[in-house]
Amino acid sequence: MITLSEKLSISRQAIVLGISRGRVYYQPRPVSDADLKLMHRIDKLHMGFPFAGSRMF
């Protein structure tokens, strides 16, 4: 785990852990209601036609 109080710099800690520095500072954004609605609609279609590919319709 990366901590600010360590003797190692954040860059060095990231290298030791094998992750990028960008990943250390990444803050995920919440999913919007519109995106959630679209994802549920896609899931519903997929569950109704699991054999259908992207070019089916």
Angle at 25 between CA 19 and CA 31, to 5 degrees: 105
Q: What is the pTM for the complete model shown?
A: 0.51
The Cα–Cα gap between 26 and 31 comes to 15
Contact criterion met (CB below 8 Å) for 31 and 40: no
Contact criterion met (CB below 8 Å) for 40 and 49: no
Question: What pLDDT sits at residue 34?
Answer: 98
> Dihedrals φ, ψ of 31, to 5°?
-80, 135
pLDDT, one tens digit per residue, over 6-57 is 788 888 999 999 999 999 889 999 999 999 999 999 999 889 888 877 666 5
